[in-house]
């Protein structure tokens, strides 16, 4: 075989290798693109599922207080406008979950004197991406009360509210779109103080025991009085 023939064959072999490599690169690119598209679709479906679950809860909730009727419309609109509505990173505001927590015989309710805000509130907190607002409300109640055995009196929404959180050193002022549930302690456990609260206090069904005039807390207190 002459030298020229060897050069031609060698060139052909090199071109063949380059062609095969090019085909592999194209196939790898197409595979990565397909995986990325599938992941994006899965994220979108998951987001829609998260939103649908909360929207169904809200649609089933029929408030009688005029302010709650407006809150319901606003929260539903907020969910539609923000696919990341459960994330604390959404700076304009986010979905939160809280509760009106009753003791074992339902004769008392637990309130928290917030250490940073210096005001009395029901127990609750951020969803941090979790769309199961009832589970979040239970978790927050457990963490803030130190009581493990907490169960829902009912799985439906007990109250809803939208309130402004003032700016602080870490974040700008924003809104909390709060979904509230009626929960109950299911044991004889005692409350435990935590650093988020100046005080934890059980109150009875006497309005004079309510340590705040916050309209939304008063509204939940009055709802509690109607429960048999």
CATH code: domain of residue 80: 3.90.79.10
pLDDT averaged over every residue in the chain = 87
114 located within any domain: yes
31 located within any domain: no
65 located within any domain: yes
Q: State the residue range of the domain holding 168.
A: 61-225
pLDDT, residue 40, reads 45
- Token pair recorded at residue 155: 């799985």
Domain tally for the chain?
Answer: 1
Residue 16 CA, distance from chain mean position: 56
Helices 3-60 and 66-81: crossing angle, nearest 10°?
Answer: 170
138 located within any domain: yes
Contact partners, residue 29, CB within 8 Å, separation at least 6:
none
- Token pair recorded at residue 106: 């339902």
CA–CA distance, 214 with 220 (Å, rounded to integer): 10
203 located within any domain: yes
7 located within any domain: no
30 located within any domain: no
Question: For residue range 8-61, what is the model confidence (pLDDT) as tens digits?
Answer: 455 555 555 556 555 666 666 666 666 556 544 554 556 677 789 999 999 999
pLDDT, residue 8, reads 46
CA–CA distance, 49 with 53 (Å, rounded to integer): 6
56 located within any domain: no
Q: Minimal CA–CA distance to 60: which of 163, 162, 154, 177?
A: 154
Q: Determine how many CB atoms are found less than 10 A away from the CB of residue 157.
A: 21
Question: For residue range 67-105, what is the model confidence (pLDDT) as tens digits?
Answer: 999 999 999 999 999 999 999 999 999 999 999 999 999
């Amino acid at each position: 075989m002459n030298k020229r023939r060897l050069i031609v064959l060698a060139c052909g072999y090199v071109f063949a290798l380059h062609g095969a490599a090019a085909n592999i690169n194209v196939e790898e690119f197409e595979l990565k693109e397909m995986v990325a598209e599938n992941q994006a679709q899965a994220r979108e479906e998951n987001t829609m599922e998260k939103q649908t679950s909360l929207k169904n809860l809200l649609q089933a909730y029929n408030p009688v207080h005029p302010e709650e009727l407006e809150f319901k419309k606003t929260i539903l609109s907020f969910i539609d406008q923000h696919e990341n509505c459960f994330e604390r990173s959404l700076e304009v505001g986010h979905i939160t979950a809280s509760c009106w927590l009753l003791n074992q015989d339902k004769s008392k309710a637990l309130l928290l004197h917030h250490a940073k805000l210096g005001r009395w509130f029901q127990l609750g907190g951020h969803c941090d991406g979790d769309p199961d607002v009832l589970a979040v409300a239970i978790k927050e109640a457990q963490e803030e009360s130190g009581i493990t055995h907490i169960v829902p009196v009912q799985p439906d929404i007990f109250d809803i509210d939208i309130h402004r959180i003032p700016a602080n050193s870490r974040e700008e002022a924003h809104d909390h779109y709060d979904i509230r549930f009626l929960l109950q302690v299911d044991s004889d456990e005692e409350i435990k103080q935590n650093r988020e609260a100046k005080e934890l206090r059980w109150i009875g069904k006497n309005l004079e025991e309510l340590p705040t005039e916050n309209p939304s807390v008063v509204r939940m207190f009055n709802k509690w009085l109607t429960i048999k």
